[in-house]
C-alpha cells in the first residue's frame, strides 16, 4: 500500500516541533473531531509522512517533518477525568477518540508561513487555505508534501 501524506496542526503552547524533537516520538492526543478520528482509524498507516504545522500562534505555518510510527489507538486522555480532553461518554470498551504515534524526522530551517502556502499554486486546492476549514489534520498530495519540504529548507 502506498504511503499517504498529512499536515497535522498543533498549537505550540500545547506541543511544538521542539517538544517532539526532544521527545523523539509522541502520541498525538486531544483530537475531538469525528472526521479526523475517522482519518486516523481508516486511512493513516505506519510509514505515512506528516508535516508538523504550528497553529493559533504568532508564527503560523509548517515547521517540520514527522512520520507515523504506530497506527491509531485509543486516546488515554478521554478516560482521565482530570484531563481537558476527558469524555464522560467514552468507555474503554467503546472508545470514541483515537490518535496515532508520530516520530520526529526533522525541523525545517525556515517556517513555511500560511501566506507562503496561500501564494503557491501547488496548494490551490488544499483544504488548509479554504475558508472555514477547521480540521486539525489534512491529507496532502505527494507533490504538496514534497513542496513543503523544499520550502522549509
Output the pLDDT for position 130: 87
Averaged confidence pLDDT in the chain: 96
Does the reported pTM lie above 0.85? yes
pLDDT tens for 76-111 read 999 999 999 999 999 999 999 999 999 999 999 999
Output the pLDDT for position 132: 79
In terms of Cα–Cα distance, which of 66, 93, 96 is closest to 78?
Answer: 96
Q: CA–CA distance from 122 to each of 19, 63, 132 (Å)?
A: 29, 18, 20
Q: Is the pLDDT of residue 54 over 90?
A: yes
The DSSP symbol for 134 reads: -
pLDDT grade, residue 46 (50/70/90)? very high
Output the pLDDT for position 134: 81
User: Rounded mean pLDDT of 10-38?
Assistant: 97
pLDDT tens for 105-148 read 999 999 999 999 999 999 999 999 988 778 999 999 999 999 99
Percentage of the chain modeled with pLDDT above 70: 99
**Spatial separation of the C-alpha atoms in residues 16 and 148, rounded to whole Å:** 18
pLDDT grade, residue 52 (50/70/90)? very high
Q: Is the pLDDT of residue 35 over 90?
A: yes
Q: Is the pLDDT of residue 1 over 80?
A: no
CATH number of the domain enclosing 76: 3.10.590.10
- Chain centre distance of CA 139: 10
Q: Look at the block and give the residue holding cell 524533537.
A: 21
Question: Cα dihedral angle (59, 65, 69, 71), rounded to 10 degrees?
Answer: 50
For residue 79, give every residue at least 6 positions away whose Cβ sits within 8 Å of its Cβ, in sequence order, or none: 86, 90, 92, 95
Which residues span the domain enclosing 108?
Answer: 5-152
Domain count, the chain: 1
**Spatial separation of the C-alpha atoms in residues 54 and 66, rounded to whole Å:** 13
Amino acid at each position: 500500500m502506498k504511503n499517504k501524506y498529512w499536515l497535522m496542526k498543533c498549537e505550540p503552547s500545547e506541543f511544538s516541533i521542539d517538544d517532539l524533537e526532544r521527545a523523539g516520538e509522541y502520541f498525538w492526543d486531544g483530537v475531538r473531531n469525528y472526521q479526523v478520528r475517522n482519518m486516523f482509524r481508516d486511512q493513516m498507516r505506519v510509514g505515512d509522512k506528516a508535516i508538523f504545522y504550528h497553529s493559533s500562534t504568532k508564527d503560523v505555518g509548517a515547521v517540520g517533518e514527522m512520520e507515523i510510527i504506530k497506527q491509531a489507538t485509543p486516546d488515554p486522555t478521554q478516560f482521565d477525568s482530570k484531563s481537558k480532553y476527558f469524555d464522560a461518554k467514552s468507555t474503554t470498551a467503546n472508545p470514541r477518540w483515537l490518535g496515532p504515534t508520530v516520530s520526529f524526522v526533522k525541523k525545517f530551517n525556515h517556517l513555511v508561513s500560511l501566506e507562503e502556502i496561500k501564494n503557491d499554486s501547488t496548494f490551490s486546492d488544499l483544504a488548509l487555505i479554504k475558508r472555514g476549514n477547521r480540521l486539525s489534520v489534512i491529507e496532502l498530495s505527494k507533490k504538496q508534501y514534497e513542496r513543503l519540504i523544499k520550502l522549509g529548507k
